[in-house]
Amino acid sequence: MEFVFFLAAAVKAGTCLLYATLGEIISEKVGHLNLGVEGMMQMGAVVGFIAGFTFGNPYAAVLCAAIAGAAGALIYGFLTISLKANQVVTGLTLSIFGVGFAAFFGKNFVGKKVPEAITTFFAPIKLPVLGDIPYVGQIFFTQSIYVYFSYFLVIAIYIYLYKTKWGLNTRMVGENPVAADASGIPVDKYKYFNIALCGALCGLGGAFLSLVYISIYPVNVVSGRGWIAVALVIFAMWNPGKALLGAYFFGALDIASFWLQQYTLPVSIYLFTALPYLATVFVLIFTSMRKSSNKKEPAWLGKNYFKEDR
Amino acid sequence: MKKRLGVLMLALVLVVVSVAGCSTGSTSKEDEVTKVGFIYVGPADDGGWSQAHDNGRAKMVENMGGKVETIVKENVPEEKSAVISTIRDMVDQGCTIIFGTSYGFMDGMVEAAEEFPDVKFEHCSGYMTADNLGTYFGKIEEPRYLSGIVAGLTTKTNKIAYVAAMPIPEVIRGINAFALGVKSVNPAATVNVSWTNTWYDPTVEKAAAEALIQQGCDVTAQHQDSTATMEAAKEAGKLSIGYDLSAATTMPEVYMTAPLWDFSGYYTDAVQSVIDGTWKSQQYWGGMNDGIVLLDELTALAPGTAQGQVDTATEAIKSGQLNIFTGELKDQTGAVKVTAGSKMTDEALLSMDWFVDNVVGSLK
C-alpha cells in the first residue's frame, strides 16, 4: 500500500518534468535545441504565481504562465531564427535570464501562500470508474486536474506530431529544412510556432510547481528541474509516450530520499538526493550508444537554417 | 570668457558640495542614532525562524524608543562571500552592531569581524568567537520536550513525523528532546525523522512531510523555517506541532502548539550594552527561565490531558528538578549513552551526534 502512495507521489512530482519535456520535444523536432527550459519554467512559475495570487483565478494563473513561457521562448526564437544566433549559447542565456527574472519579480512574493481558490481547484479529484481500478486508480486517477491535462497533452502531441500534416511538416523542417523549404513549407513560421508552443508548455510545467506542487512560494521553485527535462528528451528518444515514463521515473527519484529515510539502509541518504543527476549521466551515456536512426535526434538539431546557403 | 565661467562654475560646485558634506556630517552626530544590522537567511515574513528574529528586532526598536535604527537584509545565502559583502554594505551605512541569524553565516562573520574590529558582531547558534564577535542561542530543546508531550498524547498511529533540516548537533538535540518528551507520556510511539538538507525550501519540506504522513504518521513536528510541513498536514487532515512562531491564526486547522523563540529581550540588552559601551563578547545560551525560548499556549486541538502534563513538566524544568537529558538514555542500537541518573555535559550536548532509541531515521 505504501508503495502505491509512493508511485502516486512520483506521478505528481514528475508532472512538471512531463510538461517541460513535451515542450522541449516539440522544439527539438523543429530542429531547435532550446537549453532555456529552466529559464522558461522559472518565468512560468513566477508569473503564474503572481497572477494566481493577484487574481485568485486558476484559469488566469495558468494562462499567464503559458504566455510568460512562450514570451521567453520567442526571445530565443527571434535570436536563433531571425538573427541566426548560436542555439546553445542563446538557450543557456535564456536559462540564466529566466532564473534572474523569477528572482527579481518573485522577490516580494517569497513566503506567500497559494490562494485557497486555486488550491481547491487543483486539489486531487478521484475520477469515476477509472479511479476505482485497484492500484492504477490510486496512482494515476486520483490526481489534480493539472495532472490529467498532462495525460491529454501526451496524446494530443503524439497525434499532432505523427498523425497530422502540420506535424509531418514540423518534423521535416527539423530533419531537412532545405527540402522543406523547396517543397513550399514556410520554415520560419513552423519554427516560431513550435518554439512558442515549447515555451508555453515549459511555462505550464513551472506553474505546476508554483500553483499545485507547493503551498508557499519559495526562492527558487524550479531548482534545476529544467535541466533534467532537457536530458529526459534524449531519454525519451523524442517520443511523447516515453517522455511520460521518463518523467515519472525521474519524479520518483526526486522524492525517493524522503520515502527511503524511514528504512535502515547501508548507504548514505545523500546518495538518493544525487540519484536524479547520476541517472541523467547514465541515460546520456546509454542513449549516445544507440545506433537505430529512427531513435536519433532530428538531423538538423542545433543547426540554424540559412536560406541563402541553399 | 567661457573658460573663466567654467572655472567659476566648478568652484561654485565644489563649495556647495563641501558645505553639503559638512552639514550632513554634523547632523548625524547630533542625532546619536545607533544603527543595528540584521542578516536573515530567509524572508523576514517566512512564518518561522527569520520572522521570529524580525519580531525580536521590531520589539527591540520599540523598547529603545527612537535611539536605534535597523538595517535588514533578507534571503542572504549561507556563503562566505555573500555574508561578507552584506556586512560591508551595512558597515558602510553606519552599523555599529550586526546580528547574523543563521548558523551558516559563521565563516563570513568571523572574517568580517577581523576586517572591522570596531564593529560588534553577534552570531546566532554558532561556536566561533572573537573579541568583537559573540554568540547567542537558546535551549529550544526545553520547549521541544514539552511539545513532545503534546504529540505523544495526540498520536493514534504511534508514529510522529519530524521534518528536520540538517543533521547537526542543534537539530539532533532538538529531535532527541522531542522524542524524550514523547516517550515520557507514550513509550510505544516513535519519532520518524526525514532530512531535507535545507533550512528554508517549502517545496522540499512539503514533499518530505507528505512522504512521512503517507507512511502512517498522524502528527507532524518540524525543525524547518516555513509552514510547509503544516500545509501538508492540513491537506491530509492531520495535526501539527509548529516551530519558531505561533501558527494559531495562520494554520488554525492543524496547529496545536510550538516551541517558540523570543529574541526581543536579548536584542534589547545587547544593543543597550553597545550604547552604554559595556558590550563584551560572550557565548549566551539561555533557557526557558530567561524567556528566550517558550512553549506556545495549547490550542483547542491539543488533547485535553496535555495541559496538565505540560504544566507539571514546565514547572519541573524551570525549577531545575527536571533535566531532559538525564540517564538512562540509549541510542538506536540499544547501547547505553548516558548511564542511569547522570546528566549530559554542555559539551556533550553541543556535539550530540546520536539519536535516542524511539527515533526512526538515519544520521548517515
B42 in reach of chain A (CB within 8 A): yes
pLDDT value, residue A292? 67
Q: How confident is the model at residue B2 (pLDDT cuts 50, 70, 90)?
A: low
B-chain residues near A267 (CB < 8 A): 364
Q: What is the mean pLDDT of residues B6-20?
A: 53
pLDDT by residue (tens digit) across B31-74?
A: 579 999 999 998 888 778 999 999 999 999 999 988 999 999 99
pLDDT at residue number B31:
57
A216–chain B Cβ distance below 8 A for any pair:
yes
Least-confidence region, from A34-38, B131-135, B262-266, B341-345:
B341-345
Percent of chain B exceeding pLDDT 70 equals 91
Q: A261 falls in which pLDDT band (50, 70, 90)?
A: confident
What's the pLDDT score for residue B10? 54
What band does B29 get if pLDDT is binned at 50, 70 and 90?
Answer: very low
Is B46 within 8 Å of A269 when comparing Cβ atoms? no
Contacts of A2 in chain B (CB under 8 A): 214-216
For residue A134, the enclosing domain spans 2-309
Question: Residue B28 — very low, low, confident or very high, per pLDDT cuts 50/70/90?
Answer: very low
User: B232 to chain A: which residues are within 8 Å by CB?
Assistant: 215
**B30 pLDDT exceeds 90?**
no
| Residue A223 confidence class, pLDDT cut points 50, 70, 90 | confident
Secondary structure class of B180 (helix, strand, coil): helix
pLDDT of amino acid B352: 92
Is ipTM > 0.90 here? no
The CATH number of B141-258+296-360, from 1.20.810.10, 3.40.50.2300, 3.40.50.300, 3.30.565.10, is 3.40.50.2300
Tell me what the pLDDT averaged over chain A comes to: 92
Question: Would an 8 Å CB–CB cutoff place B273 in contact with chain A?
Answer: no
For the segment A44-97, what is each residue's pLDDT rounded down to a tens digit?
999 999 999 999 999 999 999 999 999 999 999 999 999 999 999 999 999 999
pLDDT digit string, tens, across residues B353-362: 999 999 999 8
> Is A111 touching B (CB cutoff 8 A)?
yes
> How many CB atoms are located within 10 Å of the residue B34 CB?
18
The count of domains in chain A is: 1
Lowest-confidence segment of A229-238, B137-146, B170-179 by average pLDDT: A229-238
Q: Compute the distance between CA of residue A59 and CA of residue B261 in angstroms, rounded to an integer.
A: 41
> What is the average pLDDT value for chain B, to the nearest integer?
90
Contact B361 A215 (CB under 8 A): no
Q: Where are the alpha helices (DSSP H) in chain A?
A: 2-29, 37-55, 58-77, 87-106, 116-121, 136-140, 145-163, 165-175, 177-182, 187-208, 225-235, 240-260, 270-288
The backbone torsions φ and ψ at residue B262, rounded to the nearest 5 degrees and listed phi first, read -135, 95
pLDDT digits (tens, 9 = 90+) for B162-172: 999 999 899 99
For residue B24, what pLDDT band results from cuts at 50, 70 and 90?
A: very low
The verdict on B362 touching A (C-beta cutoff 8 Å) is: yes
Q: Do B47 and A213 touch (CB under 8 A)?
A: no
pTM of the model: 0.83
Which of A107, A218, A258 lies at the smallest CB-CB distance from B211? A258
Name which of B202, B216, B361 is nearest A215 (Cβ-Cβ): B202
Instruction: Choose between B225 and A189: higher pLDDT.
Output: A189
Cα–Cα distance for residue pair A6/A156, rounded to 1 Å? 28
Q: How confident is the model at residue A285, as a pLDDT?
A: 83
3-state secondary structure of A256: helix
Counting beta carbons within 10 angstroms of the beta carbon of residue B36, is it exposed (0 to 12), middle (13 to 18) or buried (19 or more)?
Answer: buried
Tell whether A293 is within 8 A of chain B (Cβ): no
Interchain CB contact of B48 with A (< 8 Å): no
Query: Using CB atoms, which residue from A255, A268, A269 is nearest to B207?
Result: A255
**The domains spanning B32-138+263-290 and B141-258+296-360 adopt the same CATH topology:** yes
Q: ∠ at Cα B106 (B104, B112), nearest 5°?
A: 130
Average pLDDT over residues A124-146: 93
Band (A143; pLDDT cuts 50, 70, 90): very high
Q: Which of A2, A217, A269 sits opposite B362 (nearest CB)?
A: A269
Question: Which residue shows C-alpha cell 542625532?
Answer: B31
Higher pLDDT among residues A280 and A170, named by residue: A170
Q: What is the pLDDT of residue B6?
A: 59
The residue ranges of every structural domain in chain B are 32-138+263-290, 141-258+296-360
Using CB atoms, pick whichever of B45, B195, B235 lies closest to residue A111: B45
At A283 the pLDDT is: 76
pLDDT over threshold 50, residue B22 = no
Does the domain at B32-138+263-290 match CATH 3.40.50.2300? Answer given as yes
Task: Give B67→chain A minimum CA distance, Å.
Answer: 29
- pLDDT score at B27: 42
Distance of alpha carbon A144 from the chain centroid: 17
